[in-house]
Amino acid sequence: MQIFIDTADIDEIKEAQSLGVLDGVTTNPSLVAKTGKPFEACIKEILEVVPGPVSVEVVATDHDGMVAEAKTFASWADNVVVKVPIIREGLKAIKTLSDEGIKVNVTLCFSPMQALLAAKAGAAYISPFVGRLDDISTDGMELIQQVVDIYGNYAYDTEVLVASVRNPLHVVASALMGADVCTLPLKVIDQLLKHPLTDKGLEAFLADWEKVEKG
């Protein structure tokens, strides 16, 4: 399973890269706004340091506007993936862009039928938002299983990118279900490393080594 970081903060991205496990980056307008940087400058800074897929989201809500923004973003680097919301005009834009060879990450997916339509339109990635479903007392991971199963039934090439991940349990479940990608905030990436027995074991090893050193 690929691991993406969900941020537009260049320092967080570099920290995740230093761990040697980062495959790509997802951004959205809210994440870019948090950086306080101009949109284009922020994205281009990320593209300079990330060789893997970098998702950049359109803000237009009509077909022509989405396509125009997407073409601009795609001109910035070969690894740009354009994020498009799964709305009626978005579905049209997904088809247009995929036909032109521009990779699309379909965002704001909350149902298996939205995911099916996105795949049929040629999406490179589908991003079901599991945490937001959990927030309204719905099992977000059930949606991931449904999408993985549906795509498997018909051999769609669209990759399942688990988004709105809130904790390591989401990551474990995604891997067991066979999702292609999880996009995580840095906090959750750090949590994947944590286990109290690891810390306890290391503490014991170092204490014993200090005894050996002292003879």
List Cα–Cα distances, 125 to 38, 106, 158, in angstroms.
26, 6, 5
Distance CA 76, CA 172 (A): 34
Would you please indicate which residues are annotated as catalytic (active-site) residues? 83
In degrees and rounded to multiples of 5, residue 69 shows phi and psi of -65, -45
Distance CA 70, CA 117 (A): 20
In degrees and rounded to multiples of 5, residue 91 shows phi and psi of -60, -40
Distance CA 83, CA 106 (A): 6
- For residue 81, give the H/E element and its range: strand 80-85
Q: Are strands 80-85 and 54-57 parallel, antiparallel or unpaired?
A: parallel
Residue 169 has a CB neighbour count (10 Å cut-off) of 11
